[in-house]
Each structure stands twice: as C-alpha cells, then as structure tokens.
Structure 1
Amino acid sequence: MNLKCLRQLGASWRRSTINKMNNRSDFIVISDMVAPNSRILDVGCDDGSLMQMLQESKTVNARGIELFPDRVNLCLAKGLSVVQGDANKDLAMYPKNSFDYVILSKTLQSMLQPKETLEGLLRVGKRAIVSIPNFGHWKVRLYLAIHGQMPVTPSLPATWFNTENIHLCTINDFLELCKNMDINIIKSVALDKNGKVLNFANRLRSVNLIGEQAIFLLEKNNHG
C-alpha cells in the first residue's frame, strides 16, 4: 500500500470517528471529564472510536481492552493500542493506579459482578468514568406497564434472551451503589434521547425519569 492510500485510509478513519462523535453525545461528555495528556484505559473499547477521539482532542496516552476479536482488529487497524481480554477477569492483572482514568462506557450492565468491576476500575485508575443506560426511563416503565414484557428500545435494542445486558439498573440504583461503596461522585451528567444534557441539581427524580443515560466521574473516598 503506497503513502497516498495510507493517507486516504487515515482520513477516512478520522471522518468516521468525527461522525461517530457527533452521533455520540456521551463521547463529548466523557472527553470533557478527561484532562489533557492523561493516561487512560478504555475497558470494553469496542471499535476504538472513543480512544481515537480522545487521542486527537486531548492528546491522551490511550490503552484499551476488548473482548471480541473482530473489534480488536478494527482498533489495531487504526493504530490503537488494544489487547483482547475479558475485563471480568483481566482487570486484576493491571497494577494499582496504572492510569489517570479508567473508562467503562455503557458496559457495566454486561459485567458479571458490577460492584467488583467498580472496585477494579478505581484500583487500576486514579479516577473512573462510567456511563450507564437508564432502566428507570419513563418509556421503559411505560412499556413494562402496558406490555408486561422486557422492553426493546433504541437504547436497549436486544431481546431479553439475546442480550449482553445482564445487570440493568436505574440512575438512582447507581447513585445508591456508589454511596454504599463509599465512592465519591465528582461529576454526574444525564442525557435525554436527543443527547441534551440534563442538570442533576435538585432534579434527581425527574432525571431518573427522563434521562436515557448517565455518565459519572468517580474517585475513591480518602479517609485520612
């Protein structure tokens, strides 16, 4: 492959990443939570779009771990540093405070033990960024009430018997878990179906009702 082809391929990847970023408001929120020149680990990094965007916008030193080989290959084709692995087991292999941020984007609900996963994120990283789909959204509640079945929605597109999502929770559930685990929530942002930011302040009940997803910046509480 000649230099011209490589440049064209690189430009195509960049356009693809920008398009995905424009379609993923959560990526922009996550980027705002990351300091420039940080070391990050993206757990369940999919095709590497978030990693690539953070490298370009925040000049981060990014690493990724992804379960599925085809997605790992997509990342490697983009020149990203990604390994194939199962975060349910492999987070334990990383040393303490190896990264400034460990990111888990819309993946917590598919982990075998979400509580242990959060503990692992905050052991490996000085801070963690976690995003979750909100199972407390009013459309989910209405679907359950009317149909008496697990909902299939744009944010939860798979049927109950064919989904990776095994630990669905609401925004309130996640807040309670952080409280029980003594995790400090530095920043929290909810997004509606259009990607519009919803303010948490004094609106917890409504945010849990109309927020389709939420993103949290977390750190361990230090007691002396």
Structure 2
Amino acid sequence: MTLLRPDLQIIADNITPGSRVLDIGCGDGALMAALRDDKGCDARGLEIDPANVAAAVAKGLSVVQGDADTDLTAYPDGSFDYAVLSQTLQTTMRPDMIVEQLLRIGQQGFVSFPNFAHWRVRLSLLIGGRMPVTRLLPERWYDTPNIHHVTIDDFRSLVREEQLQQEGQWFLSGDTQTGRGLANLMAEHAVFLLRG
C-alpha cells in the first residue's frame, strides 16, 4: 500500500478499482502511482511543472505537461470515470470554469483545497495583520501559487449555484479527518466528490 498525503488518501480510498482517472495538477504522480499499483486504475495526468512531469514519467506514469486553465478543452466529454483536482483549484485563473471542465471530462470529480477560513488563518490576519504561513500554506504572499483564497463555504456556494450534486465531503484538521460541524472554521483542508 502506498503512503499518500491525507487528502490524496481520501480520494484514493473512494475511487472504484479499475477506473479511468485523470489527475489534473498531478504533481509528481503520487496519487496516480497508488491508483495504478493498489487499485489497478488507468491513471493519466496533466501537470504544468516540467520537473514534476519528469518525476512522474520516471515512475512509469502517463503524464503530459499542460496547463489546466487552457488545456482541459482538449479532453473529450466523459472520457474518464473520475477527474481529480487536488490542491490545484485555488491556483487556476477561473476556478468555476475549471470545475465545469472537471465534470465534463469525468463522470465524477474530486476537488481538494486548503481552507483559507481556518481559524489559524483568521487569527494570523487578525492578530498579525499579515497573510499566514502554515504547514498547508507554506509560501509567503508574494511567492505563493494560490491566486484565489477559497473557503469551504465559498466552495459550497459554488456547488449550489452551479447545481452540482455533492456525492461526498471530507474535512481534515492536520492529518486527521474531522466532522462537518463548523468545518469552515475548524478544517484546514477539504475534499469534495461531485457529479455534474
């Protein structure tokens, strides 16, 4: 069994064995390798960073270099059972359009993101008056890839506005799953499973 980051483990645990999966913003391919090795999935990836593409390909994974903001339109409708967007949504130019593409390409879509409304983030802004640097948000404001500061409640609102079906939701505080109550305040990370 492959050891994964907690949000990726939630995703892996909820993907049906043998599925076709597109991991958008796949990084070094850790999730794809786990799905291939542990669940017999046909996992493909799209990644913008050439070093990550090289690392994934070195693992024998099928990854192409590309940008989610411009390259998802090349994928046919319904070509995957699952499309995954893990810690990538907040780095895209138009997250709403990326979610639309995610659910056009995949029959179901996983989205995970750091929660910018977590109490530590709020406290850092309130007390220090500065953008926080945390374990899940380790970059400073000027070198972060995050261009949209999404919260759990913001994402839930997008799901309602777009009339998407929510198949599952999981919340993490540190590396531990936490309850849904007060998730917008208490969870550092969120994972949603959606269907269009």
Radius of gyration: which is bigger?
Answer: 1
Tell me the distance in 1 between the aligned counterparts of 2:176 and 2:58.
32
Structure 1 residue 188: Cα displacement: 0.2
SS at match of 2:171: strand
* Correspondent of 1:198 among 164, 178, 188: 178
- Decide whether the 8 Å contact of 1:102 with 1:127 is kept in 2: yes
SS at match of 1:179: helix
Letter in 2 for 1:127: Q
Tell me the distance in 2 between the aligned counterparts of 1:189 and 1:128.
14
Q: Structure 1-normalised TM-score?
A: 0.85
State yes or no: 1:218 paired with 2:182. Answer: no
What percentage of aligned pairs have identical amino acids?
46
- Decide whether the 8 Å contact of 2:113 with 2:191 is kept in 1: yes
Gaps of 5+ in 1: 1-16
Query: What is aligned with 1:77?
Result: 58
Tell me the distance in 1 between the aligned counterparts of 2:122 and 2:179.
21
- Summarize the alignment of residues 134-213 of structure 1 with structure 2, pairs less than 5 Å apart: 134-193=115-174, 195-200=175-180, 203=181, 206-213=182-189
How big is each residue's C-alpha offset from its partner over 1:174-198, in whole Å with a ceiling of 9 and x where there is no partner? 00111001111100000111x2112
How big is each residue's C-alpha offset from its partner over 1:6-58, in whole Å with a ceiling of 9 and x where there is no partner? xxxxxxxxxxx934x2xx11122101221110000000000001100111121
Tell me the distance in 1 between the aligned counterparts of 2:68 and 2:95.
11
- Summarize the alignment of residues 1-224 of structure 1 with structure 2, pairs less than 5 Å apart: 18-19=2-3, 21=4, 24-193=5-174, 195-200=175-180, 203=181, 206-220=182-196
Tell me the distance in 2 between the aligned counterparts of 1:141 and 1:132.
17
Q: Structure 2-normalised TM-score?
A: 0.97
CA RMSD of aligned residues (A): 1.0
Please identify which structure carries the higher helix content: 1
Tell me the distance in 2 between the aligned counterparts of 1:91 and 1:157.
28
- Decide whether the 8 Å contact of 1:33 with 1:217 is kept in 2: no
Alignment: residue pair count: 196
Tell me the distance in 1 between the aligned counterparts of 2:143 and 2:159.
29
Moved over 3 A (4+): none
Letter in 2 for 1:152: V
- Decide whether the 8 Å contact of 1:94 with 1:124 is kept in 2: yes
